[in-house]
Homo-oligomer: A and B are copies of this chain.
Amino acid sequence: MLKNEKYLNGEPSCAVDYAFRRIGGKYKGRILWYLHANTILRYGELRKTLYDITPKMLTQTLRELEDDGLISRKVYHEVPPKVEYSLTETGKELIPFIDYLRQWGDKQIAKESRKL
């Protein structure tokens, strides 16, 4: 398990590293979580929910998640256009972990506020 050094230069050095590369980044965790909570979200809805994201970052992040097979993108060829995002099966497998992390985060935030 240790010394799992089969990947060199640029490749993940272990599965933990591999996974973190796919869900790291400033907004990926939140996007996955919000998609889980709502099943389907449109581009504009994601933008409102993530209120502090720029369109550039939102598009970029959504593309990366799509390329990594964590979300799927459904385009409706209408006017005005409509695009829906949802979790893939692979993406859904990450939800228990994100939920666990969220609970842990809540606990730490509560701890911190008690100290103030």
List residues of chain A with CB under 8 Å of any chain B CB: 1-3, 5, 12-20, 22-24, 29-30, 33-34, 37-38, 49-52, 90, 93-94, 96-98, 100-106, 108-109
How many chain copies does the complex carry? Answer: 2
Contact for A94 among B12, B15, B33, B104, CB less than 8 A = B104
Measured between alpha carbons, how far is A102 from B4 in the docked complex, in Å?
Answer: 12
Given A14-B30, A24-B24, A29-B16, is A1 in contact with B101 using a C-beta cutoff of 8 Å? no
A2 contacts B90, CB within 8 Å? no
Closest to A7 in B: B109
27 residue pairs A–B, Cβ–Cβ below 8 Å: A2-B37, A2-B38, A3-B49, A13-B30, A13-B50, A13-B51, A14-B30, A14-B33, A15-B104, A16-B29, A16-B101, A16-B105, A17-B29, A17-B105, A18-B105, A19-B29, A19-B104, A19-B105, A19-B108, A20-B29, A22-B105, A22-B108, A23-B101, A94-B101, A96-B100, A97-B101, A97-B104
